[in-house]
Chains A and B, each alone.
Chain A
Amino acid sequence: MNATFKIWRGDANNGAFREYTTEISEGMVVLDAVHDIQRTQATDLACRWNCKAGKCGSCSAEVNGMPKLMCMTRMSDLPLDRPITIEPIKAFPVLKDLITDVSWNFQVKKKIKPFKPRPPDAPDGTWRMQQEDIDRVQEFRKCIECFLCQDVCHVLRDHQMHDRFIGPRFLIYAAALEMHPLDTEDRVEELREAHGIGYCNITKCCTKVCPEEIQITDNGIIPLKERVVDDYYDPLGWIWRGRKKRVKG
């Protein structure tokens, strides 16, 4: 069976959808089709990929308008009676074809205060942690940095507030650090000020597209927002902070 694709081709200056037809076999994913087209019809078609198993987060694109990992999107889940559109993600500038400039994300991460553990618990320099105390952090650390959550976040996608808001990926990153049982750093002020957590209005679009099914909003962003509120808008908190440096929970 054949399928028709409309793949966006172009660069930062201009571009357009181009149509390709390729044969579909059982079990195929969208990335397979893109590779077939690349091999036989458009050898210079640019797309990122690595693991082809949903583990590296490289092949993010919008398939029929939905943010997806191309390697985990089955052709059998798409309607083949009309062309399937594939285009680059929208929150970042296009470099070429399906590739965008995601370097901003790497710069943002560098600005978040790094992990700072408490002194080791045992004389041999190791720590003790209970599994139930790290389940939540492990959920956040499943993130494969595909940036699909950044792509659908309206603060970044529509309002382009990249200079004021770090986006769901890095709120989850900050949450993983803040909720890490060994970490002693305090990131609440930077979350409120430089990282703009207040711009998130909890529409949960990020959670819906996460291929790792991380509960970004409920388990990560909302608890972080609560910490900010506790620290900055709770009158008792003001007094408390005035007297004593905040102790992490």
Chain B
Amino acid sequence: MAEYETFEHDVLVIGAGGAGLRAAIEASAAGVSVGLVCKSLLGKAHTVMAEGGIAAALANVDDRDNWKVHFADTMRGGQYVNNWRMAELHAKEAPDRVRELEAWGAVFDRTKDGRILQRNFGGHKYPRLAHVGDRTGLEMIRTLQDHGVHQGIDVHMERTILTLLKQDGRIVGAFGYDRERGRFLVFRAKAIVLATGGIGRAYKITSNSWEYTGDGHALGYRAGAELIDMEFVQFHPTGMVWPPSVCGILVTEGVRGEGGTLTNKEGRRFMFDSVPENYRAQTADNEEEGWLYCQGDKNARRPPELLTRDHIARCIVREIKEGRGSPHGGVFLDIAWIGKKIPNAAEHIKKKLPSMYHQFKQLADIDITEEPMEVGPTTHYMMGGIRVDSDTQMSRVPGLFAAGECAAGINGANRLGGNSLSDLLVFGKRAGEFAAKFAKENQHGAINTTEIENVAREALRPFEQREGENPYTLQGDLQETMQDNVGIVRTEAEMKSQLEHLRKLWEQASRVGVSGNREFNPGWHTALDLKNLLTVSEAITRAALERKESRGAQFREDYPEKDERFAKVNTIISQAADGSIQVRLEPVPEMPDYLKTIIEEMK
């Protein structure tokens, strides 16, 4: 018999980044007991790394902004396969969620008249991102964390969930372990919110930390929820490329928002050469106009460096492939040039982009106020995830909710920068609210001890095969092959070979072995995370094969154009009765006329 400790909460939130914290706060405020499980220490989740800002149509800097423009921008950025209802709710509710943070103590940068300052970002028509220098995520997570701890939320730090528990089709709890001692834990709960973030560790070059192994995606999938849009993995155009050990670390889009330019080795601003048709009307056609936009000139259009991330990442890859890249295999991102335009540019850069200054100075010996950075695409964000009801965030499994990056719908084929932090707040709140409601209407269920025994036995197996496969080697192999075969540029042949390779990795993963004991053993933790990484990797590959076109973050070399047949469908992934991964296409829900009108008006 496996020994385990049992906890009981009305609502259990798994994941303590922005979405999880916001959900926990809302559920707790609704009067139910809340447990919050963090994989790391509280306050260290990936939200802390978000840099640029929170997108919300506050209209503090440009009074032409409103929810309709934000909605239209989000849909255009997502190539219209977004869930329109989520995009609508998000655009409408984001401003209140930002103001709420201020009421909880957040200290955003200010406009001259003392309101929350907003900055330019890719794909947003007007300056829309509420920010604090380039450490907005830290401000957000700290504000939520400090507000939340006074609400009586039970925080379970450094614990990982292995499986969700169900009874008669409904969620009744979760089973996991604490990292510190390796003891098993049972959480009984009437409702569960998954808020585990992304899948970035499935790729070699990534801005994501060790935690982002697709836990929520895989837990939800195995519990019977559907995954949608899994082919859409966002490669952020600007990650560090040199030195090798920092490759993939994020360079905020805020650099471009402040006037930073992308150039190739010939010194050419190559983004001017490739403005997509649907953005031409709102993009500057000369350098001066682009600069004036960054300076707040309302008559100027935005520079092509502020096009959407999917497009810029592909242009950068093209420049590198065609031999116009920088010495270390990237392109140049230059903010120092603004010294020609404004006095005290160095001070201005340090003030607006302090952590970028610090990061390059300390890790790459580059002073960004004097010389350009070298950047290239890095795996950054997962548009795909658990399919949820747009208003309640509940999956098709009763009692199982999801919010933030591990849920899907709002971003479609490509997420706009800044829409992630607002998504966390808007849908974290909604998930918490409706999970609390569900918990009030339902009782605790019974825990299936046989299932727990099985999961516990499987979790301990790596200790019985100590001479087995090295978990880090397997993870590295997966990352390398996903990067090569299901990366920014995809073909059917490569993805099919990756499916074969994944089959081999699944088999090797069953023989994974670890040394040492159960106390804080990263080798063991890596071994346990493999299953989730393999599940999401297979889901990404199968969905990407199914979408035989290029749209948003998915670029198929064998189908390089958009295809009308895929213009209004989502890929849906679910687990078949025999445990295999099923993929099918489903029409995107029909948009109501009042929203169609908005999109037409904003064209």
Contacts and interface: CB of A to CB of B under 8 A. Distances in A.
Interface of A: 11, 25-29, 32, 38-40, 43-58, 72, 74, 95-97, 99, 102-103, 106, 109-110, 114-115, 117, 120, 125-131, 134, 137-138, 141-142, 144-145, 177, 180, 183
B121 to A, nearest CB: 19
Contacts of A55: 48-49, 135, 137-138, 355
Contacts of B43: 145
Contact of B41 (A102, A110, A128): A102
Given A25-B243, A50-B46, A128-B115, 13 more contacts: A27-B246, A43-B521, A44-B516, A48-B40, A53-B359, A54-B355, A55-B355, A126-B115, A128-B114, A131-B109, A141-B107, A142-B135, A180-B105
B295 interface: no
A31 to B, nearest CB: 9
* Interface size bracket, B side: 35 or more
A145 B471 CA distance: 30
B138 A144 contact: yes
A177 B146 CA distance: 11
Contacts of A97: 520
B524 A58 contact: no
Contacts of A29: 245-246, 363
Interface in B105-149: 105, 107, 109-110, 113-116, 132-133, 135, 137-139, 142, 146-147, 149
Given A54-B362, A115-B104, A128-B113, A38 B132 contact: no
Please list the 7 inter-chain residue pairs (A to B) with the smallest Cβ-Cβ separation, ordered nearest first: A27-B243, A44-B516, A43-B523, A128-B114, A115-B105, A46-B520, A50-B209
Given A43-B515, A56-B44, A117-B105, A110 B150 contact: yes
B242 interface: yes
B519 A52 contact: no
Contacts, number: 167
Contacts of A51: 44, 46, 48-49, 209
Contact of A53 (B116, B210, B250, B473): B250
26 contacts: A25-B245, A26-B244, A27-B243, A27-B246, A28-B245, A38-B472, A38-B522, A43-B522, A50-B48, A50-B209, A51-B44, A51-B49, A53-B359, A54-B358, A55-B49, A55-B355, A56-B209, A95-B519, A102-B41, A114-B105, A114-B146, A114-B147, A115-B146, A127-B114, A130-B110, A144-B138
A56 B524 contact: no
Contact of B243 (A26, A45, A49): A26
A53 B249 contact: yes
A25 to B, nearest CB: 6
B97 to A, nearest CB: 13
Nearest to B141: A56
Nearest to A127: B102
B249 A52 contact: yes
Most A CB contacts (10 A, CB to CB) among B105, B476, B517 go to B105
A228 to B, nearest CB: 22
B99 interface: yes
Contacts of B244: 25-27
Interface string B79-104: 00000000000000000000100111
Contacts of B521: 43-44, 46
A118 to B, nearest CB: 11
Given A27-B243, A27-B363, A142-B135, A125 B105 contact: no
A138 B103 CA distance: 16
Contacts of B139: 141
B24 to A, nearest CB: 15
Contacts of B517: 44
B356 to A, nearest CB: 10
B514 interface: yes
B211 interface: yes
A46 B520 CA distance: 6
Given A28-B243, A32-B245, A180-B105, A43 B132 contact: no
Interface string B250-291: 100000000000000000000000000000000000000000
Interface string B142-161: 10001101100001010000
